[in-house]
Chain A
Amino acid sequence: MELTGAQALIKSLEQQGVDTVFGLPGGAILPVYDPLLDSSIRHILVRHEQGAGHMAEGYALATGRPGVAMVTSGPGSTNIVTPITNAHMDSTPLVVVTGQVATTSIGLDAFQECDITGITMGVTKHNFLVRSAHEIPRAIAAAFHLATTGRPGPVLVDLPKDVAQSTMEWWYPAGVDELELPGYRALAPLDEGEVDRAVSLIASAQRPVLYVGGGTLKSRATDELRAFAERTGIPVVTTLMARGAFPNSHELFLGMPGMHGTYSAITAMQRSDLLIVLGARFDDRVTGRTTAFAPEAKVIHIDIDRAELGKIRRPDVAIQGDVATALRALEAAGAAPASLATWWSEIRSWQAAYPLTYDEAPVDGPLRPQHVIETLAANAPEGTIVASGVGQHQMWTAQFWPFEEPHSWVNSGGAGTMGFGVPAAIGAKVGRPDRTVWCIDGDGCFQMTAQELVTARSEGIPIKVAILNNSYLGMVRQWQEMFYDERYSEVYLSPDLPDYVKWAEAMGCVGLRATNPKEMRDVIDEANAIDDVPVVIDFRVDATEKVFPMVPAGASNDDVLVHPSQRKETR
């Protein structure tokens, strides 16, 4: 069967089981948009290519399947570099197809030429420039294989226009052996010796903590984690990337570690004598000053990426491997500590003294952002997926949203990309149309990518957006208040410019506003009653509210600033 390169590309995506592509056409990718008309693949036309990338990420985070985006060359391709970087930092499986100028024009500064494989070399797991139509099936199959196996990540396939227009005899790689990846092996076998050493470290631990990272979700190891934790009674902390990997309501759960983690999670790690690290990477936002982090702890580090083992903290036992497989091996070996009663009584005292807290909202407003989040969660159906932007609202969501299941949290961790929330929520809803999807966004973030609500409305993707409108780039404001003597520099936005309700309406969404707790409850009910169009709520929250606990940047995790109401006179 003779196909054009463009047809071969679409057919290859179909072979991979792709049901949705997020994208926006242009000159160099034009040939591919024609056979798309005849395909069963749903294409979602975004308003900005950054939106396509974050939607693909949201889709991937909510479903565990790779997200796919397609854009044109030059500015189309550079517009998607931010989501690619974001996916790279968070190990999210993504396949991005970019159009490229014809092979005969490459290197000649042709119209909309851009060396996107060069630009993305450092922020993709791998990328390909496809030089012949015959190579398209292999490139696509390899892209999916690379994106989804081992440590997942974004893979970019750059497709020159003449390659898309030329013809090939259809074929498809029968298996991994035909992908011509002689240098790639997704998984190394577990080292049994290291597993045995881990078992004996666990056996002698008195203050162990399970430090659970995003890799636990990536390897779908949440059942194994729960079984292991319940059998051993070891306390669990889940990083920002791993919210939902372990139920918040579980008695073994301590919360999130790190800069805005719970006091008990941070302090348990600091006092721990054994950290069992599952698919986490000692990010600086978790460790605080690394030299002061968990000073007495031995470390069992389990990660699929061997370069993570010892990158920041030298492990006592390093297990390169998939988290689920490693946990099963630890289970099979019956790894267990002795009694943790003393350890737990210490932990319980920290939990009792320093729970997450906030001041009650005045009846007349403004609202407390944490209260808004708790009320949204309390009224959300089971299985709701929550996305967020980056800033205070993100940290409050991570703290106060009761995560109970994996893949219910769609978030930008490693890159901290403002504007991630709205498009990522759209992608999540496309992937899980059966679920309610809330985006808890900041006013600053919302203004970066809000135009994708036009996409949501026109494609019939009814997400719900809660803007925690504090009229500030709040997180930066918090740092200026606390560490720059309240000298506020370029952080004020405005509560009503733009008018978020009118803006929402202009984009075909329902726009609502709440300024006090009574209105808050009413608009949440109203929003929950709508399921056919996107809803945007402008929650007017207190601009001076800060995120606590906080470990100041560069400080030791021993120096946690708890909520002002919990500070003792002597502190």
Chain B
Amino acid sequence: MNTPEPFAGEPVHTPVRHHILSVLVENKSGVLARVAGLFARRGFNIYSLAVAPAERHARFSRITIVVDAESAPLEQVVGQLDKLVNVVDISDIAPREAVERELLLATIPTDVSNRTSLLDILGLAGASIIDVDPGAITVMLAGTPTSCDELERALEDHASVELHRTGRLAVPRLGRDVPPATSERGPR
């Protein structure tokens, strides 16, 4: 089992010690409630959670959960999760061995006075403008959680920004010893 590593970068939103669980579940009604309910019941803190149908099999969904590793030992979280009958496979990925990405969308009111500084910020962050009207722009950034944190902070000075983040997805980094899935089960 990997020891959670301190998160590299400014921990604005991210807990100091976090761990990523990539959980393959049966795509059935109520399964998300079972997973979320288990975390609530056992006092495991979820920092972020992202769900979507998995890969090619519509039978399964993938839930990517960023767990606050301070709230419970990781083996406990994995062990309890593994007992949910609808959970098919769990891989736990230590942050240092993960490629993590997150999507940020923000709608920002614009006028002559802020346009230049705003464009600077967006340019620096590598964000792109995906929608415009005379009074506002919508921008997106798909990047590391740190870069999303940084953009969010940079936009703090801009009044009435509406900002949404997806929570992160992660896959193991290539070219390393990829940690084995902690669950021995797989779809049969």
Q: Name A's B-contacting residues (CB within 8 A).
A: 117-118, 121-122, 125-126, 129, 146, 151, 177, 181-185, 188, 305-307, 309-311
List residues of chain A with CB within 8 A of the CB of B84. 183
Most chain B C-beta atoms within 10 Å of own C-beta, residue among A125, A183, A307, A311: A183
- Could you tell me if A183 and B85 are in contact, using CB atoms closer than 8 angstroms? yes
- Could you tell me if B76 and A310 are in contact, using CB atoms closer than 8 angstroms? yes
List residues of chain B with CB within 8 A of the CB of A309. 79
List residues of chain A with CB within 8 A of the CB of B80. 307
Known: A146-B85, A182-B88, A183-B26. A306 touches B79 (CB 8 A): yes
- Could you tell me if A183 and B185 are in contact, using CB atoms closer than 8 angstroms? yes
Closest residue to A189 on the B side, CB-wise? Answer: B184
CA distance A121 to B88 in the complex (A): 18
CA distance A324 to B84 in the complex (A): 24
CA distance A122 to B89 in the complex (A): 20
Most chain B C-beta atoms within 10 Å of own C-beta, residue among A146, A307, A310: A307
Q: Name 9 extra pairs, CB < 8 A, besides A151-B83, A177-B188, A182-B88.
A: A121-B30, A121-B34, A121-B37, A122-B37, A125-B83, A146-B85, A183-B85, A183-B87, A307-B80
Closest residue to B79 on the A side, CB-wise? Answer: A307
- Could you tell me if B185 and A185 are in contact, using CB atoms closer than 8 angstroms? yes
- Could you tell me if B88 and A306 are in contact, using CB atoms closer than 8 angstroms? no
- Could you tell me if A126 and B76 are in contact, using CB atoms closer than 8 angstroms? no
List residues of chain B with CB within 8 A of the CB of A122. 37-38, 41
- Could you tell me if B33 and A121 are in contact, using CB atoms closer than 8 angstroms? yes
Contact of B76 among A118, A177, A181, A311 (CB under 8 A): A311
Min distance, Cβ B53 to any Cβ of chain A, angstroms:
15
Contact residues on B (Cβ < 8 Å of other chain), bracket = 20 to 34
List residues of chain A with CB within 8 A of the CB of B86. 183
Most chain B C-beta atoms within 10 Å of own C-beta, residue among A118, A181, A184: A184
Instruction: Say yes or no: is B6 at the interface (Cβ < 8 Å to chain A).
Output: no
- Could you tell me if B188 and A310 are in contact, using CB atoms closer than 8 angstroms? no
Cβ-closest 10 pairs across A and B: A307-B79, A183-B88, A126-B85, A307-B80, A183-B87, A182-B187, A306-B79, A184-B85, A182-B88, A122-B41
List residues of chain A with CB within 8 A of the CB of B185. 182-183, 185
Closest residue to B30 on the A side, CB-wise? Answer: A117
Min distance, Cβ B166 to any Cβ of chain A, angstroms:
25
Closest residue to B25 on the A side, CB-wise? Answer: A183
Known: A117-B30, A118-B33, A182-B26. A125 touches B85 (CB 8 A): yes
CA distance A185 to B75 in the complex (A): 18
Instruction: Say yes or no: is B82 at the interface (Cβ < 8 Å to chain A).
Output: yes
Contact of B83 among A177, A305, A310 (CB under 8 A): A305
List residues of chain A with CB within 8 A of the CB of B59. 182
Most chain A C-beta atoms within 10 Å of own C-beta, residue among B41, B79, B187: B79
Instruction: Say yes or no: is B73 at the interface (Cβ < 8 Å to chain A).
Output: yes
Closest residue to B37 on the A side, CB-wise? Answer: A121
- Could you tell me if A307 and B82 are in contact, using CB atoms closer than 8 angstroms? yes
B:21-43 near A, CB below 8 Å: 25-26, 29-30, 33-34, 37-38, 41
Min distance, Cβ A513 to any Cβ of chain B, angstroms:
46
CA distance A284 to B1 in the complex (A): 27
Most chain A C-beta atoms within 10 Å of own C-beta, residue among B25, B30, B59, B187: B30
CA distance A320 to B25 in the complex (A): 23
List residues of chain B with CB within 8 A of the CB of A118. 30, 33
List residues of chain A with CB within 8 A of the CB of B41. 122
- Could you tell me if B184 and A188 are in contact, using CB atoms closer than 8 angstroms? yes
Min distance, Cβ B56 to any Cβ of chain A, angstroms:
15
- Could you tell me if A307 and B83 are in contact, using CB atoms closer than 8 angstroms? yes
- Could you tell me if A307 and B85 are in contact, using CB atoms closer than 8 angstroms? no
CA distance A495 to B38 in the complex (A): 44
CA distance A311 to B76 in the complex (A): 6
Closest residue to B77 on the A side, CB-wise? Answer: A307
CA distance A353 to B79 in the complex (A): 43
- Could you tell me if B188 and A182 are in contact, using CB atoms closer than 8 angstroms? yes
Annotate B62-76 by CB proximity to A: 1 below 8 A, 0 otherwise. 000000000001011
- Could you tell me if A310 and B85 are in contact, using CB atoms closer than 8 angstroms? no
Closest residue to A121 on the B side, CB-wise? Answer: B37
Closest residue to A124 on the B side, CB-wise? Answer: B85
CA distance A174 to B164 in the complex (A): 49
CA distance A447 to B89 in the complex (A): 47
Min distance, Cβ B171 to any Cβ of chain A, angstroms:
21
Closest residue to B34 on the A side, CB-wise? Answer: A121
